[in-house]
Amino acid sequence: MTINKVSIKAPAKINLSLDALRKREDGFHEVAMVMTTVDLADRIELTLLETDEIKIESSGGFVPLDERNLAFQAALLLKKTFNITKGVYIHISKHIPVAAGLAGGSSDAAATLKGLNELWGLSLSLDELAELGAKIGSDVSFCVYGGTALATGRGEKIHHISSPPPCWVLLAKPPIGVSTGEVYRNLKLQGIEHPDVEGMVKAIEEKDYDKICGLLGNVLESVTLKMYPEVKHIKEQMMRLGADAVLMSGSGPTVFGLFQHESRLQRVYNGLRGFCHEVYAVRLLGE
């Protein structure tokens, strides 16, 4: 039976811990980070085309609709690797903010790889798709699997871990974009506090919510909070309003807070909406 259309969710991720260890010979940084998925997702709809072309549309502004788009790159990579002569029309319903540190573009690429695997009948395993994803971007491999994982190398080596205890997550993004490359270029590895990534993995395995809150850490905050005072302001306000723990995700600018109690989440949500337009209250997916 020929499948003509596939619809797939592309969830956002947050970093519970992000450490950069050294600058690699290939120009990337060697990282160790704990990532987990949250219930904020784009939806990717893939429609089979008999013509040999990739067409892409998106409901969100600021999304490139050509080879700069990671979903486009994912389709092109599969076409070239497996000599596919059929095409695809990709429609992205955007819900994850763009250039936000939430891996929206990487998750769209991962969903496209998984969807096209079905649509074009490639029968590739998740491991094979993740290996292909690493050629597109550092976060794509993680997004192929989803769930919760320790990522090492430049982010493409994925070690699955159990999911954190369930909780609420509040995401707040100021109206700016942040260049990941620029943040890493300005990162000074000497004299900054490195998060306890191993401790975080252990806390998650033990389902110890308080310990997880105490171990949140992101080495990139040392750069982004200085470059973008708006991010620092949101972090400070979220703490002041009563989040259990607060951290910037990825290279920013999105800041997230963790909450065990929905009533407190609602209070902080209302407080942030007074000065920040993009605020999302979501659950931790983690699995």
Residues identified as active-site: 13, 139
**Residue 182 is encoded by which pair of tokens?**
């620029």
Answer for the pair 158, 147: CB distance below 8 angstroms, yes or no.
no
Q: Give, in order, the Cα–Cα distances in Å from 28 to each of 31, 103, 133, 181.
A: 9, 17, 16, 9
Taking phi over 0 as left and psi of -120 to 50 as alpha, with beta for the rest, 286 belongs to left
H or E segment to which residue 74 belongs: helix 70-82
Q: Supply φ then ψ for residue 71, to 5 degrees.
A: -65, -40
**Both tokens of residue 80?**
């070239």
Please check whether residue 111 is in contact with residue 96, taking contact to mean a CB–CB distance below 8 angstroms.
Answer: no
Q: Where are the alpha helices (DSSP H) in 186-282?
A: 197-205, 209-215, 221-227, 229-241, 262-273
What DSSP character marks residue 271? H
Specify the DSSP element, H or E, that contains 201: helix 197-205
Question: Hey, which residues does 33 pair with through a beta bridge?
Answer: 18, 151
Report helix, strand or coil for 285. Answer: coil
DSSP codes of every residue in 111-140: HHHHHHHHHTT----HHHHHHHHTTT-TTH
Contact at 8 Å (CB) between 167 and 38? no
